[in-house]
Amino acid sequence: MRTLNWMISATLLLSLSAVAQNAADTQPSAAPVQTEQTQPATSQPAAAAAQSSAPANALPAPPPAAVQPTTMDQVVDRFVMREKGLIKMLQSRTPVIETYLQNLTLDPQLGPIPQTDKYFLGRMDLSTTIDRKDYIQDDQSMEKHLLGGFSKLFKVQYQPLGFSWMIFADRNDFDRQHYDFRYVRREFLGDVRCLVFDVTPKPKSGMGRFLGRIWVEDQDYNIVRLNGTYAPRPRNAFFFHMDSWRLNLIPGYWVPAFIYSEEGDFSAGAKNTLAFKAQTRIWGYDLKKDGQSDELTNIRVDSVQDDSPTAQDASPLAAERQWQQQAEDNVVERLTRAGLLAPEGELDKILQTVVNNIEITNNIDLPRPVRTRVLLTSPLETFSVGNTIVISRGLVDVLPDESSLAMALSHELAHIVLGHNLGSKYAFNDRMLFSDEATYANLGFKHIPEEEAAADKKAVDLLKNSPYAQKLDGAGLFLKVLNTRAGALSALLTAHLGNNMSQGPTVTRMSQLMGSAPQIDWNKLDQIAALPLGGRVKLNPWDDKVELVKSQPVAITSARDKMPFEVTPFFPRLTRQGTSDANPTTGNAANTANSGTATSADAKPVN
Ligand SMILES: [Zn+2]
């Protein structure tokens, strides 16, 4: 059986890449980028400097210690109080919120599969009411509605606000006056023991009250999970069902991180025509609020240190390279600050290992090292700026093996090798001055079709001369299955900063590899061509760091378990902050529904 675990093979291949590991290690990894602001070289008044480096993003003070409740009524009072405390703490936050939705249709062999999809991305202002500033504005009505829902006339509309609304049970009136709370039982969610309560709105307490179940952890009595809907519903509106999870990322608080929504019924006789699955992810809690007065001091003016002992002024060529480096650094920093790029971290080492494997076997010697970073969003895309290759979290999630990861990265490496990334307009800092939600309008790294074709051709050459040469079947099969879904998944395949991997319903990226790939065989249970979304990368919503998911493989028992590119429910293993495994495991049900997708727990690169 073909091994699906490319993380382990990445570790095995490390011996090939000792040189480049050194390059990767020269940067301190994973410090939150907000604390790394570089002051402009010109001297600043001390007050201004202090202000710009002030701990705007310091952790909120944990809630004061309180007497342990002894009755269930006291427990209710405590979690009502803790919920109000959470709402208050989050008032100063403007996290990123992403919703990806797949409308479903019934396939006789594969069960419900995506038919169309939608994507929303924005920053949410949690200060007064739930408000969103969308990065992608293609629907003028989306900001005007708070309810997720559809209007009359069978026209289905999805309001992303309807998804973000679900981060709290009830922002204003979560209390005994408006709700009945009924204790159900104790239950563990991951490592965390919880008290479970059913919550029903009192009669005549108003529209849109939470109706469902909550899980409350039994130390500080924070709500860690909400599952249900809102009721009663207003005329012409409809509330989605949701399963909302929180993570203990900072002392004393559990912050909303994932919301799964699902509607639809494919059982015999079911009449509803609405059927979808949606994942909402929230991250970037530690990002600075946009548009603050310290904006200018955030720009990294010069990160290039000339440390050669005899240097006077830069030679023309050296100046050119520094100029390009400056453009690259500006873009990477700006995207990180907008909450779109993960800080440099563990996952980058694995990506860089794969890049290094290709570089070394092809004798590629570049004047500046190639770096990698992870775009935090779901749509499948890669791009490169200068010598930095960026790959989206969604794409890393769905790639089945190391050779397909090499395929994705090799296209961008080819752009770099071919000198396609010499544009340096971003070295001018005025081009970094825009609001976060205008990022997509101000930055773009698309290539012309001729460069795309040249990069594809070069990338195939690089792969054929790499350790992945004998394993390109997996990459080709991945592209083939993507090709079968490309028409249904246009939102997932719409790149926002780089080039699309497809044109309409046809995958164009490195399509040469499809020719030699095996046939798609859904019934062949060990043929895993692509994974569900969320299967590999876990994202810390507080500091935006990414790591690989740790989860146990579960055997695939039918073609319906494969779920390539699909949305699945979340089932994170909850842990308390500060315990031995403090990092939240943000995997979802897909991990456990997929044989061989994830035994990466012990596959950390050794260096
Ligand atoms: Zn390209």
pLDDT in tens, 213-226: 999 999 999 999 99
Residue 40 pLDDT > 60, yes or no? no
- Quick: pLDDT tens for 477-486: 999 999 999 9
| pLDDT confidence of residue 551 | 67
pLDDT value of residue 509: 96
Give the distance (Å) from ligand 1 centre to CA of residue 195. Answer: 51
Residues 6+ apart with CB under 8 A from 506: 483, 486
Query: What distance in angstroms lies between residue 75's CA and the mean position of ligand 1's atoms?
Result: 56
Task: Assess whether pLDDT exceeds 90 at residue 121.
Answer: no
Cα of 364 vs centre of ligand 1, distance in Å, is 19
**Distance in Å, CA 42 to ligand 1 centroid:** 38
For residue 294, the CA-to-ligand 1 centroid distance in Å is: 35
d(CA 330, CA 302): 9
Question: How far is ligand 1, taken at its centre, from the CA of residue 449, in Å?
Answer: 9
pLDDT for position 143: 35
Question: What is the whole-number distance in angstroms between the Cα of residue 113 and the centre of ligand 1?
Answer: 29
CA of 510 to the centre of ligand 1 (A): 10
Calculate what percentage of the chain has a pLDDT beyond 90: 48
One-letter-per-residue 3-state SS of 443-470? CCCCCCHHHHHHHHHHHHHHHHCCCCHH
Q: How confident is the model at residue 313 (pLDDT cuts 50, 70, 90)?
A: confident
> Residue 502 Cα, ligand 1 centroid: separation in angstroms?
11
pLDDT tens-digit profile of 333-353? 999 999 999 999 999 999 999
pLDDT in tens, 563-581: 999 999 998 889 998 764 4
Q: What's the length of the chain?
A: 607
Q: CA distances (Å), 347 to each of 30, 277, 542, 548, 552, in order?
A: 10, 28, 17, 7, 19
Checking if the pLDDT of 582 tops 60, the result is no
Q: Tens digits of per-residue pLDDT, 129-162?
A: 655 566 665 544 433 343 343 333 333 445 555 6
Asked if pLDDT for residue 171 goes beyond 60, the answer is: yes
Q: How far is the CA of 452 from the centre of ligand 1 (A)?
A: 5
Angle (deg, nearest 10), helices 402-417 and 449-464: 120
Q: How far is the CA of 455 from the centre of ligand 1 (A)?
A: 6
Name the residue with tokens 């010697």: 365
A 10 A CB-CB count for 469 gives: 13
Residue 601 has pLDDT above 50, yes or no: no
Q: How far is the CA of 501 from the centre of ligand 1 (A)?
A: 8
pLDDT band at residue 454 under the 50/70/90 scheme: very high
With bands split at pLDDT 50, 70 and 90, how would you rate the model's confidence at 265?
confident
Question: Average pLDDT in the 232-260 region?
Answer: 87
The rounded distance, in Å, linking the Cα atoms of 154 and 203 is: 30
Cα 571 to middle of ligand 1, angstroms: 35
* Helices first, then strands: H and E counts in the chain: 15, 17
**Higher local confidence (pLDDT), 164 or 204:** 204
CA of 456 to the centre of ligand 1 (A): 8
pLDDT of residue 133: 60
The CA 353 to ligand 1 mean position distance, Å, reads 20
Task: Tell me, in angstroms, the distance from the centre of ligand 1 to residue 5's CA.
Answer: 26
Mean pLDDT of 311-325: 82
Distance (Å) from CA 157 to ligand 1 centroid: 33
Q: pLDDT tens-digit profile of 366-385?
A: 988 999 999 999 999 999 99
Return the number of other C-beta atoms located less than 10 Å from residue 414's C-beta. 25
Handedness of CA 235, 240, 241, 243 (dihedral sign): negative
Residues 6+ apart with CB under 8 A from 257: 245, 246, 247, 249, 281, 282, 283, 541, 572, 584, 586
Q: What is the pLDDT of residue 268?
A: 66
Strand partners for 243: 227, 260
Give the chain's mean pLDDT.
78
Tell me the whole-structure pTM to 2 decimals. Answer: 0.81
Give me the mean pLDDT over the 445-471 stretch.
Answer: 95
* pLDDT band at 23; cut points 50, 70, 90: very low
- Taking the centre of ligand 1 as the mean of its atom positions, its distance from the CA of residue 531, in whole angstroms, is 23
Q: Say if CB 27 and CB 348 are below 8 A apart.
A: no
